[in-house]
A and B are shown apart, each in its own frame.
Chain A
């Protein structure tokens, strides 16, 4: 029952994050989605990942969103894409149906649990290349934050057509 309520909550929050016109409200709905996904992860037996998702997804990313929205300012978000709305709905529904047909039939054929090393062994021992790549990614993130915080020096000056006439 709790799984079902969480599922409904996640989907409602995600849809509201897309539907809301104000960017800041959208970011808050996204934080709600993250928090509920963290709860679902906890219920699925992955409390470590749930905690990380809660602190990073619902905390850090939301702060970044609010910061970026403050820098850029609220802008009318009811601009419509180049693709017509009915076509977008058809493509989305088609995706959902095809994924459903692909995933749902095999979902109950769970494999028997095999003896598996602990999470710390899998993470730190078996996946060292991934860890190096994650470190590179974090470095990219630092560069991204520098881009977020950089001053307005990069903005081009207004071109004045009368400049140099006299």
Chain B
């Protein structure tokens, strides 16, 4: 496997996805969960731009990446707002503490 530009980008994508999945599995802090989601979305964005470039439809890939950036930001905003409210109501950012919301 030669280290061409697509190969390097695909390595970044795979590395970021692996890091994000590991974090989602191990982390219990709500804000850290949002960080992990952000990392995974960045991988998806890079993959979209690369796919567009490889398929000869660069502008389509870029416009999809733009949509992903918007969605990514909204996910961060809503996730952080949720974390702030959980902290206020439950008193902790620990995901396990959310079991107190159970009836």
Residues of A contacting B96 in the complex (Cβ-Cβ under 8 angstroms) = 79, 82
Residues of B contacting A10 in the complex (Cβ-Cβ under 8 angstroms) = 12, 15-16
Name the interface size band of chain A. Answer: 35 or more
A111–B55 touching, CB < 8 Å: yes
A95–B18 touching, CB < 8 Å: yes
How many Å lie between the Cα of A143 and that of B65 in the bound state?
23
How many Å lie between the Cα of A52 and that of B72 in the bound state?
12
Q: Indicate whether A137 sits within 8 Å of B22 (C-beta atoms), given known contacts A4-B3, A7-B12.
A: no
Residue A166 at the chain B interface, CB threshold 8 Å: no
Interface string of B27-38 (1 = CB under 8 A from A): 111011011101
Interface class of chain A by DSSP? helix
Q: Which residues 10-67 in A have Cβ within 8 Å of B in the complex? A: 10-11, 14-15, 17-18, 23, 26-27, 30, 33-34, 37, 40-41, 43-46, 48-49, 52-53, 56-57, 60-61, 64-65, 67
Residue A162 at the chain B interface, CB threshold 8 Å: no
Residues of B contacting A48 in the complex (Cβ-Cβ under 8 angstroms) = 62, 66
B78–A11 touching, CB < 8 Å: no
Beta-carbon nearest neighbor of A98 in chain B: B14
Contact of A152 among B19, B67, B77, B88 (CB under 8 A): B88
Interface string of A123-166 (1 = CB under 8 A from B): 10001001001100110110111111010101110000000000
A7–B16 touching, CB < 8 Å: no
Residue B8 at the chain A interface, CB threshold 8 Å: yes
B16–A52 touching, CB < 8 Å: no
Q: Indicate whether A104 sits within 8 Å of B1 (C-beta atoms), given known contacts A147-B82, A155-B88.
A: yes
B14–A23 touching, CB < 8 Å: no
B63–A123 touching, CB < 8 Å: yes
Beta-carbon nearest neighbor of B23 in chain A: A18
A33–B39 touching, CB < 8 Å: yes
How many Å lie between the Cα of A118 and that of B60 in the bound state?
9
Shortest distance from the beta carbon of A72 to any chain B beta carbon, whole Å: 4
Residues of B contacting A88 in the complex (Cβ-Cβ under 8 angstroms) = 22, 25-26
Given contacts A18-B23, A26-B31, 4 further A-B contacts (CB under 8 A): A56-B69, A82-B96, A104-B1, A154-B88
B residues near A (Cβ < 8 Å) are 1, 3-23, 25-29, 31-32, 34-36, 38-39, 42, 45-46, 49-50, 53-63, 65-67, 69-74, 76-78, 80-85, 87-89, 92-94, 96
12 A-B Cβ contacts within 8 A? A7-B15, A23-B31, A33-B42, A44-B53, A46-B65, A65-B31, A68-B80, A114-B57, A123-B66, A144-B74, A146-B81, A156-B89
